[in-house]
Structure formats: C-alpha cells, structure tokens
C-alpha cells in the first residue's frame, strides 16, 4: 500500500494520544492521523466526519469502554487497533481471536506489526471481521470473569455474574437463582441489582423478575406471556415489555 491510511486516535489521556501520534509519525509513515478524540461523543462525531480507514482505540475511555462506542455506531467501516494499559483478559481474548492490540507503554515493533496487519486488511476487504461479532465475543470473554458481591445474613458471597440465571423480588430482598448452586436470598432490592446487571445482558421481565437473557429456554406467549428458564422454572413477563424482550432474546441467541 503506497497511499496514506487515514487514521484517528481515540484515547482519554492527552499524553497517550500525543505519544501514539509521535510514534506513528516516526515509525509508521504509512499512517496519516487526521483527528484525535478523548471521549465517546467526540469520537463518534470525528468518525462520522473523517470516515477513517483505521482507528487506534483505547479500551477504557473514562467510565466508558471502546465497545460502547462501537455499539453506538450505525456502521463500522474501518479497521481497529485496540490499545490497553492493563486489561489482561481482553488481551487473552484478542490473542485467541487474532485481533491486533497494543499494550501500554507501546513498543515500536508491536506498533509496526499491528499497523502492517491493519494495512493488509484494508487492502483485502474480503477478510474484514464482523465487528458486531467481535464486540459480543470480547464482552463475553471479559464478563465471564466478572464477579459480584452479594450481601447475605452471613456476610458477602462472591459469585460469577455469568452463573446468575435470574433474580426474583422478595419484598425488600432479592432471591438469586444460579446455574448450578442453591438459590441465595440477598439483602438488597431488585432495582439495585437491575442497575448493576443490565450491562451484562440482564433485563427486567416483570416488576418481580430480572433475568439473564442467555438462560431463557422458552418464550411462552399464552396467558399473557412467560419465560421458561434453563432450570425449567417459569418467570413472569409484563405485557408492556414482552415484545422488546423477545427481540432482545432473539438477537442474543441468534434466533430467526
């Protein structure tokens, strides 16, 4: 590739953006940096305006992540080189899926290699990855290792979020149901856990129920609707959210 690759840098730290830009100018003359962004809002506007071919994208953008930015975009027509300071699990996921990433502090050989790989992919459009699938895979890879502290009468139970099948309201308490262990009564209300778990694919199906959509076994449409979970228990569904919930379940589980 002889022409310049139009690129932008998205990183919430000004010194990191400057460092990447300097390294690219010195060691990767193929790259032309046409813009920089420090947050998701500016990055979205810059991508729409500049239409870059390559984005150097920091995984952690303040309190947000790079994956939120990608999910916000109506289309992803550029290649990505992810940048991370310490996300060990994301790195393992990227290695497993042969995705280019740079670990801070950036080493020159790795930068040159990642840029070269990206340039080849830009030339060969047929090899372009599905970014939607990438987002799902990396998010799932990371989240499978996240835990939550559940306050009980005995203290705190540390459980993997992916092991939570559904939660049911029990007055001011919440009863957690898991994939392979006994239910646990926790001393906070359902709304509290809804706010924490919604980013992990949980959704409120009813005032009394919060479900992990990946563990829905059957969608019942009779008698107002219900969900049959993987443990064969029935969870109620409110009429007002039924259609939206069905659409989300189909999307997650790739149902037609």
Of 126-140, 145-159, 176-190, the least confident: 126-140
* pLDDT tens by residue, 81-98: 999 886 655 665 566 555
Residues 6+ apart with CB under 8 A from 183: 175, 176, 177
Task: Kindly list the distances between the CA atom of residue 7 and the CA atoms of 47, 71, 75, in Å, as whole numbers in the listed order.
Answer: 10, 20, 17
Q: Kindly tell me the burial class for residue 21, based on how many C-beta atoms sit within 10 Å of its own C-beta (0-12, 13-18, 19 or more).
A: middle
Give yes or no for residue 198 having a pLDDT over 70: yes
For residues 103 and 94, is the Cβ–Cβ distance under 8 A?
Answer: no
Q: Which H helix or E strand runs over 8?
A: strand 5-10
Percent of the chain with pLDDT over 90: 46
Give yes or no for residue 207 having a pLDDT over 80: yes
Of 46-55, 81-90, 144-153, the least confident: 81-90
Cα Rg, the chain, nearest whole Å: 22
Task: Kindly list the distances between the CA atom of residue 228 and the CA atoms of 12, 103, 187, 216, 218, in Å, as whole numbers in the listed order.
Answer: 43, 43, 26, 6, 5
Query: DSSP of 151-213, one letter per residue?
Result: EETTEEEEEEGGGEEEEEEETTEEEEEESSS--EEESS-HHHHHHHHGGGTEEEEETTEEEEG
Give yes or no for residue 127 having a pLDDT over 50: no
For residues 137 and 96, is the Cβ–Cβ distance under 8 A?
Answer: no
Residue matched to tokens 């506007």: 45
Helix (H, G, I), strand (E, B) or coil at 241: coil
Residue 84, pLDDT score: 85
- Residue 57 forms beta bridges with which residues? 10, 82
Q: How confident is the model at residue 181 (pLDDT cuts 50, 70, 90)?
A: very high
Mean pLDDT of the chain: 85
């Amino acid at each position: 590739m002889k022409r310049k690759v139009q690129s932008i840098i998205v990183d919430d730290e000004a010194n990191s953006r400057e460092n990447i830009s300097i390294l690219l100018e010195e060691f990767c003359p193929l790259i032309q940096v046409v813009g920089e962004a420090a947050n998701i809002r500016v990055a979205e506007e810059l991508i729409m305006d500049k239409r870059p071919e390559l984005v150097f994208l920091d995984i952690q953008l303040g309190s947000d992540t790079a994956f939120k930015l990608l999910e916000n975009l109506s289309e992803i027509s550029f290649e990505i080189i992810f940048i991370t300071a310490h996300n060990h699990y994301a790195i393992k996921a990227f290695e497993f899926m042969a995705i280019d990433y740079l670990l801070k502090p950036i080493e020159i050989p790795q930068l040159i290699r990642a840029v070269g790989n990206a340039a080849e992919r830009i030339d060969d459009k047929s090899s372009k990855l599905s970014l939607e699938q990438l987002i799902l895979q990396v998010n799932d890879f990371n989240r499978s290792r996240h835990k939550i502290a559940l306050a009980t009468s005995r203290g705190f139970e540390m459980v993997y979020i992916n092991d939570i099948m559904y939660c049911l309201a029990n007055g001011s308490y919440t009863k957690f149901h898991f994939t392979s262990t006994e239910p646990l009564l926790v001393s906070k209300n359902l709304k509290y856990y809804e706010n924490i778990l919604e980013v992990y694919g949980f959704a409120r199906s009813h005032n009394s129920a919060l479900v992990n959509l990946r563990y829905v076994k059957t969608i019942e449409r009779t008698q107002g609707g219900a969900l049959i979970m993987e443990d064969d228990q029935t969870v109620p569904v409110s009429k007002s959210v039924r259609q939206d919930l069905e659409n989300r379940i189909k999307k997650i589980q790739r149902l037609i």
